[in-house]
Amino acid sequence: MVDLSLTDEQQDLRELAHNFAMKEMRPVAWDYDRDATWPQEIIEKAWEVGLMNTHISEEYGGPALDYLSGCLIEEELGWGCSGIGTSILANGLAMTPVLLGGSEEIKKRYLGMLTEEPKLASFCLTEPDAGSDVSGMKTNAVKMGDKWVLNGSKCFITNGSHANWFSVYAKTDRDAGHKGISCFVVPRDADGVAVDKKEDKLGQRASDTATISFNDVEIPQDHLLGEENKGFKLAMMTLDRTRPGVSAQAVGIARAAMEFATDYAKERVQFGVPIAMHQAIQFMIADMATKIEAGRLLVWQSASLLDQGKRNTLAASHAKRFAADSAMEVAVDAVQVYGGYGFIKEYPVEKLMRDAKIMQLYEGTSQIQRLVIAREVLMPRQVSEPAAATA
Ligand code: CAA
């Protein structure tokens, strides 16, 4: 039997996140989107009520929540405003390589920094010429005595302008392709770290996206995460753990779009009846509802596998591909239900359509998810990598 019921704790957590989204995010979401406002106060409140850093274990000050619980939170924050939600949740991506590969001392220092105060961290993988093709990165770290010296530039870095530290991937063996990449923790205040550019974006405008450069940045040896030249796998294992949560945010966007569309369809009268009475509209709403339910099931499956200590690469890509594409389709259809009003900024759904687009791009495009799915289906790997849940 497949049991999809939530525990009392999980239901309470979902309610907490929903109420937070309703009270703290929804009232400002459209203004923050218009003005691209950085949601510092909301981040601090989210930290205070325990909605951040959810997978850090108690010894480093975190709540050690399971991945499914994390997804419940992420869906609600995505429902509230995925731009503000991404700002609140991006620590999860940056901290995962530390959880997986950091020494005891590094975990205490850098995870502790996030749990002691509402501080932020960013994940630095993407480069101008290395997006989907991770192993094409040019940022490099050269060993000099007991230090590494880091040079390069990373783009599209969520929370980059506000982060207190970064998990940074760099080539440590230029000629070894994916087998020559390592990952390091880099403090923001290290000499040579600079925020170069803050992006002006189509959607998720309340989130910060920046270019970060590293110029002769000296990194102590113990800031290497995991083994030297094993950073590519660390990045992939990180994304396996974070894609369920991003997919949950996409489900949240789709849910918000469907709710606005159904409310509007019940009010808007054309041809003498609310448009919800027309089958053309009903079928759009029906498809929205199915996509949301199916997306959530894939999210829960991909998170549950992690919680059972099982490999979830395929499930995470199914969830990300389907939930992201569904969020986009549902938001576009919500605009269609609103008709011409849907195109006007005074109405809520055009923001959701713009926000949904990034879901098909970040943490692996929908095409990369299909690539992973096709490889897993055509050439299933026999390995069963343990999924270290929390540190
Ligand atoms: N877990 C563990 N190991 C894995 C793995 C996984 N999920 N996936 C691959 N590997 C291993 C493989 O087994 C292989 O190991 P061996 O060297 O022992 O053979 C090795 O890694 C190389 O794998 P591939 O041959 O599959 O590598 P590839 O170069 O073909 O790339 C890819 C695969 C799926 C395309 C990968 O590069 C990828 O996921 N790209 C997308 C990157 C991405 O998601 N970027 C988003 C950045 S973060 C972000 O967007 C957030 C933000 O802040 C904006």
User: Is 44 a residue whose pLDDT tops 80?
Assistant: yes
- What confidence score (pLDDT) does residue 380 get? 80
Pocket of ligand 1 contains residue 156 by CB under 6 Å: yes
217 domain-assigned: yes
- Contact in structure between 94 and 163 (CB atoms under 8 Å): yes
**Cβ(60)–Cβ(111) under 8 Å?**
yes
CA-CA distances (angstroms) from residue 18 to 139, 294, 310, 311?
A: 40, 20, 29, 29
pLDDT of residue 43: 98
In whole numbers, what is the pLDDT of the chain averaged over residues? 96
In whole angstroms, what is the distance from residue 376 CA to residue 311 CA?
12
Given a cut of 90, whether residue 6 has pLDDT beyond it is yes
Nearest CA to ligand 1 atom 4: 233
Q: What CATH number did the domain enclosing 53 receive?
A: 1.10.540.10
In this structure, what is the dihedral angle of CA atoms 287, 302, 318, 237, given to the nearest 10 degrees?
150
Q: Are both 203 and 288 inside the same structural domain?
A: no
pLDDT average, residue stretch 121-142? 97
- Per residue in 193-230, pLDDT (tens digit) is 999 989 999 999 999 999 999 999 999 999 999 999 99
C-alpha–C-alpha distance, residues 246 and 364, integer Å: 10
Q: Please, which pLDDT band fits residue 307 given cuts at 50, 70 and 90?
A: very high
Instruction: Tell me what pLDDT residue 140 has.
Output: 98
Tell me what pLDDT residue 153 has: 98
**pTM (2 decimals)?**
0.96
pLDDT band at 3 (very low <50, low <70, confident <90, very high): confident
What pLDDT band is residue 391 in, cutting at 50, 70 and 90?
A: very low
Same domain membership, residue 239 and residue 362: yes
2 in any annotated domain? no
Task: Verify that 238 and 357 share a domain, yes or no.
Answer: yes
Res 240 pLDDT > 70: yes
Residues 124, 166: contact at Cβ < 8 Å?
yes
List the domain range (segments joined by +) for residue 161: 121-229
One domain, residues 238 and 179: no
- Domain end residue (candidates: 168, 200, 229): 229
Name the helix (H) or strand (E) containing 150: strand 147-158
Residue 388 pLDDT grade (very low, low, confident, very high; cuts 50, 70, 90):
very low
Higher pLDDT, 379 or 359: 359
Best of 133, 134, 238, 320 for a ligand 1 pocket test (most atoms within 8 Å of beta carbon)? 134
62: pLDDT confidence band, cut at 50, 70 and 90? Answer: very high
Asked, for residue 3, whether it belongs to a domain, the answer is no
224 plus 256 within the same structural domain: no
- Domain annotation covers residue 1: no
Residues designated as active site: 363
**Could you tell me the CATH number of the domain that includes residue 200?**
2.40.110.10
Q: What digits encode the pLDDT tens for the residues 313-341?
A: 999 999 999 999 999 999 999 999 999 99
pLDDT at 2: 79
**Model pLDDT for residues 158-183, shown as the tens digit of each residue:** 999 999 999 999 999 999 999 999 99
Going by alpha carbons, the residue nearest to atom 17 of ligand 1 is 179
| Ligand 1 contact via 132 beta carbon (within 6 Å) | yes
Are residues 355 and 280 part of one domain? yes
Residue 386 buriedness (CB in 10 A; 0-12 / 13-18 / 19+): exposed
Q: pLDDT digit string (tens) for 285-302? A: 999 999 999 999 999 999
Structure tokens at 159: 């929370």
Between CA 388 and CA 386 the distance in angstroms is 6
Using alpha carbons, select from 306, 183, 168, 186 the residue that is nearest to residue 233: 183
- Does 236 sit in the ligand 1 pocket, CB within 6 Å? yes
- Domain end, chosen from 229, 244, 274, is at 229
Four-CA torsion 279, 281, 285, 287, nearest 10 degrees: 70
Do both 182 and 238 map to the same domain? no
User: Quick one: which atom of ligand 1 is closest to the CA of 239?
Assistant: 44
